[in-house]
């Protein structure tokens, strides 16, 4: 898939927070096969140079994020700092509007996206599945949309399948990445079967009993879901259809 002007082979993007140890994080990244990892400026500040070096050694592209920002000013300032620290124009833009659900403030999100896109950032906006908001973000200059599956860290999966299906159909030529709420490999496979280009997750791997094995499971689920969508899934039917045709059956009297 192409994200802005970069070709990415893996369709699994992985977060780097909440792992039991740096060593397990590095192993999980390797097991996932990901080529893009997200890093929050606050996480980098806590880990310092050692954490930055660990992520750099994985060879993955870093997607800094503005996690924890609740205003346009805070998000824009954090993005500018991330650009200086990581040397990248990529930014995962989060502007949180509700402290319990961590739902994006879509009004502030569009405003922040306009500012950052005008400054040359390549913005990956964490948004809802609202089509109007998606149109506004594209008009602001975004070329990727990242709708949530469910609240961050909830593990609920795809709570609004029909809205996500409609979003995929409406933005047929836009890279869409399901971000947040993925709790199991089956959720990731569902997203890919809908035709989404990738999934981004963190807690489901970092919080697993065996993060490395879980990272590997997610990699396989994403690949299977993508291949299933490309192969053409059979449509659901209201009635049973026998797999063995009636023509040619023996007539027994």
Q: How far is Cα 207 from Cα 227, in angstroms, rounded to an integer?
A: 27
Q: How far is Cα 139 from Cα 143, in angstroms, rounded to an integer?
A: 9
For residue 195, which of 219, 217, 166 has the smallest C-alpha distance? 166
Q: Which two tokens stand for residue 92?
A: 């995962």
Q: Which distant-in-sequence residues (6+ apart) come within 8 Å of 23 by Cβ?
A: none
Q: 168 near 135, Cβ under 8 Å?
A: no
- 11, 43, 83, 92: the catalytic one is 92
Our answer to whether residue 73 is catalytic in this structure is no
Q: Regarding beta strands 36-40 and 198-201, do their DSSP bridges make them parallel or antiparallel, or are they unpaired?
A: unpaired
Q: How far is Cα 235 from Cα 55, in angstroms, rounded to an integer?
A: 42
Q: Which distant-in-sequence residues (6+ apart) come within 8 Å of 25 by Cβ?
A: 16, 19, 54, 206, 211
SS3 96: strand
Measured CA distances, 231 to 48, 49, 193, 195, 243 (Å)? 45, 45, 10, 11, 19
Q: How far is Cα 8 from Cα 213, in angstroms, rounded to an integer?
A: 23
- Looking at the annotation, which residues are catalytic? 92
């Amino acid at each position: 898939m192409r994200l802005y002007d970069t070709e990415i082979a893996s369709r699994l993007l992985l977060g780097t927070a909440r792992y039991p140890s740096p060593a397990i994080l590095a192993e999980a990244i390797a097991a996932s096969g990901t080529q893009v990892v997200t890093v929050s400026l606050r996480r980098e500040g806590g880990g310092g140079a050692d954490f930055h070096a660990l992520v750099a050694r994985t060879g993955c592209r870093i997607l800094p994020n503005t996690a924890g920002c609740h205003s346009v000013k805070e998000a824009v300032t954090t993005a500018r700092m991330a650009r200086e620290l990581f040397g990248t124009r990529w930014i995962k833009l989060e502007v949180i509007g509700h402290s319990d659900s961590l739902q994006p403030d879509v009004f502030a999100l569009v405003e922040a996206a306009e500012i950052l896109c005008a400054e040359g950032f390549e913005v990956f906006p964490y948004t809802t599945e609202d089509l109007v908001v998606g149109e506004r973000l594209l008009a602001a200059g975004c070329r990727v949309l990242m709708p949530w599956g469910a609240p961050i860290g909830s593990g609920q999966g795809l709570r609004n399948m029909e809205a996500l299906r409609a979003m995929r159909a409406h933005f047929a030529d836009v890279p869409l990445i399901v971000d947040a709420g993925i709790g199991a490999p089956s959720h990731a496979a569902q997203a890919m079967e809908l035709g989404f280009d990738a999934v981004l997750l963190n807690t489901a791997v970092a919080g697993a009993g065996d993060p490395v094995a879980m990272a590997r499971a997610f990699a396989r689920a994403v690949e299977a879901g993508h291949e299933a969508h490309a192969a053409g899934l059979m449509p659901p039917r209201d009635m049973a259809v026998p797999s063995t045709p009636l023509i040619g059956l023996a007539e027994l009297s």
